[in-house]
Chains A and B, each alone.
Chain A
């Protein structure tokens, strides 16, 4: 008998770790053992806490078929420690696309170690909450504070060679577990971001599968900071298919991805070419060149074809032009055919918005190539086929300052293939995204201030105003302008005098800065002190919000885009009054990096000249991202601008 004890003891740890590691979406289920942990202690005054929070990905064959699929297993147990957490959890939404492939959906409520209610897939109701969100929903009836909610969803999805798991959830997770399982002839690699621990690779197979896995232990919810993009800065794990041992192919190279994408887009039928040549001729694009030519092509396409992820891929060019809506890849093909017809040199530049992820050159994954752009090599300009707002070489700031996978078409034999490199999409210089505001203040006979504003905006500094004016009726667009200028101040007569160069669909207007002139006659900024007037001129520049520092800065500063902001405010001192209180307001802050390159700065001058008080502000930000170490200086500049809001002039009766 004694002889048996040794091998059994050895066997238990092995079985234990093996069974914990391995899983299969077709037999994965809730554990029979009910968690009896004291959630109240675990929650430690938090609204709720995940006792465990598991994300397990599985790649393999759909049983009894030859279809390669991906299964995503989400298994979490949350302890509800507040009324708010009940409201957060008593409705569980499943997106409609997921519901098509929802293999398992189970929810149970646990109270003091006992299951008090269970729900399944049949309890899900189809719903549509709004125009944009198609969902299915489970009503978790009878949820109470102090209970635990255990949830298991297993979705079977089409094979996708990459994915990511965000580690920070809406509450703390006491145990955050991530795993990726794949058949042993495949290899996935992973990389962690925002957290030091990486997934381990079993390197060997368990029942023909190998696993990448890690328990990250306690993971706190994302702590938001001003000027930090949540998606970009959240801790996450990316994984991607890197090798197929059975075919001997290395899959995760940018070269492969670029070539594959290019080959799927470039080869066209003769009839399609004929159709496009006819279109090019009809539109007279060959008579244009440079950015104007690019602009006209884009304007035609963007006015005629709507693009959405939800629209289908349409390979037939004629059908696409008849239907006028399709997915982006259908439309990319059209652009390529147009470029070929006009002999415009182009490359693909595929990236991801930096408001979501920072492109990682060292981790070749399709997760970083979600947005296809064109790079027009002769123009040295980029083009986004799916964004209505940008034309003629302009793209959204979310791609600028980001790396991209560039793919150049190359004739190989009779077909076209692609050559790939990773390069940067440069930031636009700050002087190309400018807001210039000239304000003149005069007075009417009742001492209402007459505020005349001349706004000129270029680049990203126009705050989508051209888009608003192009897409809306002019009255409606003027309402937007009025609301944004007035903020919550409704007093007085406001009139928009002129809006020029706003139409995105006219080249001559598109290339010029938007110009707006408006006048506001109001006593909003004046207060009386006996016979004198306090004029709160600092508020005329728009509300600037103070930036506080409560904790050490954790994330880099996401500053949207480099830009300049200039204000010249002239206040005519009304007749019979003298001005006081403008002295000593001048300020100059300027910061550079250790190499002497400019970072950001502000210059504020308030002077009296020719019967006027003149406030001049020049504020600039040279980069789109700054390291956390620059936060204190960045804050100083932001707060210097915010301080202007309290500048007040005393107009004293002579």
Chain B
């Protein structure tokens, strides 16, 4: 996302396609019966995937090679020939030293090797990015058929030990795996730290020293095909993976510190911003800052911050740009202002620059979005951050501003950074690591207030007002504004038709689309023909037009894979129903009050004459559910579902 950490991304790409076995070009010996048993119904099985990291000295500096090998046994009838495999690399940071791919076809006498054509090399631009110095080598596998084995091998050189990326033992959950190995070998003099993340219970470690070379190996064996689930967080939360950190190296008399502490990480991060915006503010940029300043009381710094934030969001388009180190270094603000586009760090630094022009001091901050589970203390390297925001301390409390979050109220952090640590730059030697607050459930709301009138044939005429606040507003507005007119209409209609296919929209009106400080509202009139079922002379219908979290029960099979929600939220539904003359709700469901740490649900009915009202409120008070939350969560969902399933019968008086 945002400020892309190319190495982390490279790693994810690589693990999807390839791995390595530092053994040479020979297919692994395997027990066919056992492998087929492990594969079950799978169409392919990874016989082995492995990565070997070799760190040695070259003229007193670290020399790092990372070698990958992967062998996959294909078990399906259909040919997989022509399948492409992609290996990412960067000439500036981790050049590809060699690549080789082969197919081994099973014959009566063993295996026949068929090599691929040479790899093709192209630049890689991911969706949403403008420029990127990443490249990829592509090889096409020939002659793949049932019981053939594909082999992929390649080697990267890591030019800068500051940039390391992880090895995932089993990146594709659904593909069974016989063996996955990570091995690191390093010369005496290197201080290496291995950091394991995800569910590491299946890993077996061994290590030793041979001569002046130390080695450590981590092995995962016999892993069956797994299942993928809804609302999985980033795979780094649960898939086993390992980082190697070169903390320091000593050569003869000197010791060089590289990685391992947050101080070292900050020192490196600060080097990217220390010469930022040394030039004089351009006339045009000053003019905009002045015009903002003039419209508000100069003492009202909060208002100036908000105005500048909204100005940037409205005038600078977010476009991720990566080109070598510029993936880390913000561009000069005058240039960003002039070009009217930039990535997260460009937008954050422009905001800081414009605030400075208004005599307001603020601080740049690095942060990892919620796809990344690492804290800075756990993993004090670049891979822990992939985004930049602006921080401002007021009355002893830090406030966080994300200029990329267009449409979001200024005092709210975006959903993908809440609860995450920000590394705030104070000056060359000082920084603070502060957690961005999680936004309270009451701020992120959806409120639907409906007045309904039932006709004698069971149809409803509805007049409603639907409002969205906080991150709920942001999500809907961001999506809405990205659509063309036809899709916008479809989106609004889907929101106001209450999931009733037969509903017909009479009209609707949208308000506060551009006012970030006000709820996004849709006032609407619809009709819902045949909504109430007429059985004999009575009408039956369910008053819960919308049943949020009804389908959010967590499967009992789900183990060690958390559930992630974008934000805590509140759903409020108010229904005021007018029944046909001489009709009355014969028995209203009971009021409900369910309360737990994770979910709360309240429902109150009242009635008068041929009218009744229902007020319901549902609060989801969690961003993340772990195994030990599942039972409590399911209990709550079950209880609420029961209430959602209570219908009303309306009878003639």
| A interface residues, Cβ below 8 angstroms from B | 47, 83-84, 86-87, 90-91, 125-131, 134, 137, 139, 141-144, 224, 302-306, 308, 311, 322-325, 388, 470-476, 479, 488-491, 505, 523, 526-530, 534, 543-546, 548, 580-581, 642-643, 645-646, 648, 650
Given A130-B127, A141-B341, A303-B79: 15 more A-B contacts, CB < 8 Å: A127-B122, A127-B125, A128-B123, A224-B486, A306-B82, A324-B143, A324-B144, A325-B81, A471-B43, A476-B174, A490-B553, A529-B649, A546-B502, A642-B501, A646-B502
Contact partner, A324, options B142, B481, B542, Cβ 8 Å: B142
Interface: B179 (CB within 8 A): no
- The answer to whether A308 and B82 have CB atoms under 8 Å apart is yes
> Which B residues, 318 to 343, have Cβ-Cβ distances below 8 Å to chain A?
319, 339-341
Q: Which residue of A lies closest to B341 (CB)?
A: A141
- The answer to whether A131 and B84 have CB atoms under 8 Å apart is yes
Please provide the 9 A-B residue pairs with the shortest distance between their CB atoms, ordered closest to farther. Answer: A127-B125, A325-B82, A324-B81, A581-B535, A474-B41, A490-B551, A139-B130, A126-B123, A306-B82
Mask, B123-147, CB within 8 Å of A = 1, is 1111100110000100010111110
Contact partner, B502, options A90, A304, A526, A642, Cβ 8 Å: A642
Residues of B with C-beta under 8 A to A491? 550-551, 553, 641
Q: Which residue of A lies closest to B487 (CB)?
A: A84
- Distance between Cα atoms of A479 and B41 in the complex (Å): 13
- The answer to whether B82 and A128 have CB atoms under 8 Å apart is no
Whole-angstrom distance from the CB of A592 to the nearest CB of chain B? 28
- The answer to whether B533 and A648 have CB atoms under 8 Å apart is yes
Whole-angstrom distance from the CB of A537 to the nearest CB of chain B? 11
Residues of B with C-beta under 8 A to A548? 504
Q: Which residue of B lies closest to A91 (CB)?
A: B130
- Distance between Cα atoms of A479 and B648 in the complex (Å): 36
Q: Which residue of A lies closest to B136 (CB)?
A: A128
Residues of A with C-beta under 8 A to B502? 546, 642-643, 646
> Which B residues, 52 to 96, have Cβ-Cβ distances below 8 Å to chain A?
76-82, 84, 86
- The answer to whether B78 and A323 have CB atoms under 8 Å apart is no
Residues of B with C-beta under 8 A to A528? 645-647
- Distance between Cα atoms of A21 and B150 in the complex (Å): 57
- Distance between Cα atoms of A590 and B587 in the complex (Å): 43
Mask, B631-653, CB within 8 Å of A = 1, is 00000000001000111110000
Q: Which residue of B lies closest to A581 (CB)?
A: B535
Residues of A with C-beta under 8 A to B533? 534, 581, 646, 648, 650
- The answer to whether A90 and B40 have CB atoms under 8 Å apart is no
Q: Which residue of A lies closest to B140 (CB)?
A: A325
Would you mind naming 14 contact pairs between A and B with Cβ atoms under 8 Å apart? A126-B123, A128-B122, A128-B123, A306-B82, A322-B142, A323-B142, A324-B79, A325-B81, A325-B82, A490-B553, A491-B550, A534-B540, A546-B502, A643-B530
- Distance between Cα atoms of A648 and B481 in the complex (Å): 39
Whole-angstrom distance from the CB of B66 to the nearest CB of chain A? 23
- The answer to whether B481 and A83 have CB atoms under 8 Å apart is yes
Q: Which residue of A lies closest to B406 (CB)?
A: A83
- Distance between Cα atoms of A251 and B525 in the complex (Å): 61
- Distance between Cα atoms of A479 and B227 in the complex (Å): 9
- Distance between Cα atoms of A491 and B641 in the complex (Å): 10
Residues of B with C-beta under 8 A to A129? 125-127
- The answer to whether A306 and B80 have CB atoms under 8 Å apart is yes
Interface of B is mostly: loop
- The answer to whether B540 and A650 have CB atoms under 8 Å apart is yes
Residues of B with C-beta under 8 A to A648? 533, 535, 540
- Distance between Cα atoms of A90 and B43 in the complex (Å): 42
Residues of B with C-beta under 8 A to A645? 501
Q: Which residue of B lies closest to A324 (CB)?
A: B81
Residues of B with C-beta under 8 A to A505? 77-78
| B interface residues, Cβ below 8 angstroms from A | 40-43, 76-82, 84, 86, 114, 122-127, 130-131, 136, 140, 142-146, 174, 225, 227, 317, 319, 339-341, 481-486, 501-502, 504, 530, 533, 535-536, 540, 542, 550-553, 587, 641, 645-649
- Distance between Cα atoms of A279 and B111 in the complex (Å): 21
- The answer to whether B125 and A128 have CB atoms under 8 Å apart is yes
Whole-angstrom distance from the CB of B588 to the nearest CB of chain A? 10
Whole-angstrom distance from the CB of A108 to the nearest CB of chain B? 16
- Distance between Cα atoms of A529 and B533 in the complex (Å): 13
Q: Which residue of A lies closest to B321 (CB)?
A: A139
- The answer to whether B483 and A90 have CB atoms under 8 Å apart is no
Residues of A with C-beta under 8 A to B341? 141-142
Whole-angstrom distance from the CB of A436 to the nearest CB of chain B? 24
- The answer to whether B81 and A473 have CB atoms under 8 Å apart is no
- The answer to whether A471 and B79 have CB atoms under 8 Å apart is no
- Distance between Cα atoms of A90 and B227 in the complex (Å): 39
Known: A322-B143, A323-B142. A527 touches B646 (CB 8 A): yes
Residues of B with C-beta under 8 A to A127? 122-125
Known: A125-B123, A528-B647. A473 touches B136 (CB 8 A): no
- Distance between Cα atoms of A648 and B536 in the complex (Å): 13
Whole-angstrom distance from the CB of A503 to the nearest CB of chain B? 9
Residues of A with C-beta under 8 A to B41? 473-475
- The answer to whether B484 and A47 have CB atoms under 8 Å apart is yes
- The answer to whether B143 and A527 have CB atoms under 8 Å apart is no
Which of A90, A470, A476, A643 has the most chain B CB within a 10 Å cutoff? A476
Residues of A with C-beta under 8 A to B501? 543-546, 642, 645
Residues of A with C-beta under 8 A to B126? 129
Known: A128-B136, A642-B501. A650 touches B145 (CB 8 A): no
Known: A126-B122, A142-B341, A529-B648. A473 touches B551 (CB 8 A): no
Residues of B with C-beta under 8 A to A143? 317
- Distance between Cα atoms of A88 and B114 in the complex (Å): 45
- Distance between Cα atoms of A68 and B165 in the complex (Å): 52
- The answer to whether A139 and B131 have CB atoms under 8 Å apart is yes
- The answer to whether B647 and A473 have CB atoms under 8 Å apart is no
Contact partner, B647, options A91, A489, A529, A545, Cβ 8 Å: A529
Whole-angstrom distance from the CB of A542 to the nearest CB of chain B? 12
- The answer to whether B647 and A306 have CB atoms under 8 Å apart is no
Whole-angstrom distance from the CB of A649 to the nearest CB of chain B? 9
Residues of B with C-beta under 8 A to A580? 535-536
- The answer to whether B40 and A84 have CB atoms under 8 Å apart is no
Whole-angstrom distance from the CB of A477 to the nearest CB of chain B? 9
Residues of B with C-beta under 8 A to A475? 40-41, 225, 227
Residues of B with C-beta under 8 A to A139? 130-131, 319
- Distance between Cα atoms of A30 and B530 in the complex (Å): 60
Known: A491-B550, A543-B501. A534 touches B647 (CB 8 A): yes
Residues of B with C-beta under 8 A to A581? 533, 535
Whole-angstrom distance from the CB of B186 to the nearest CB of chain A? 35
Contact partner, A141, options B144, B339, B649, Cβ 8 Å: B339
- Distance between Cα atoms of A90 and B136 in the complex (Å): 25
Q: Which residue of A lies closest to B43 (CB)?
A: A473
Residues of B with C-beta under 8 A to A530? 587, 649
- Distance between Cα atoms of A91 and B122 in the complex (Å): 19
- Distance between Cα atoms of A304 and B481 in the complex (Å): 48
Known: A127-B123, A139-B131. A323 touches B225 (CB 8 A): no
- The answer to whether B81 and A128 have CB atoms under 8 Å apart is no
- Distance between Cα atoms of A143 and B319 in the complex (Å): 12
Whole-angstrom distance from the CB of A153 to the nearest CB of chain B? 19
Whole-angstrom distance from the CB of A551 to the nearest CB of chain B? 13
Whole-angstrom distance from the CB of B558 to the nearest CB of chain A? 12
Whole-angstrom distance from the CB of A491 to the nearest CB of chain B? 7
- Distance between Cα atoms of A287 and B141 in the complex (Å): 34
- The answer to whether B78 and A303 have CB atoms under 8 Å apart is yes
- The answer to whether A306 and B79 have CB atoms under 8 Å apart is yes
Residues of B with C-beta under 8 A to A325? 79, 81-82, 140, 142
- Distance between Cα atoms of A530 and B589 in the complex (Å): 8
Whole-angstrom distance from the CB of B315 to the nearest CB of chain A? 9
- Distance between Cα atoms of A474 and B77 in the complex (Å): 14
Q: Which residue of B lies closest to A126 (CB)?
A: B123
Q: Which residue of A lies closest to B78 (CB)?
A: A303
Whole-angstrom distance from the CB of A90 to the nearest CB of chain B? 7
Whole-angstrom distance from the CB of A517 to the nearest CB of chain B? 18
Residues of A with C-beta under 8 A to B142? 322-325
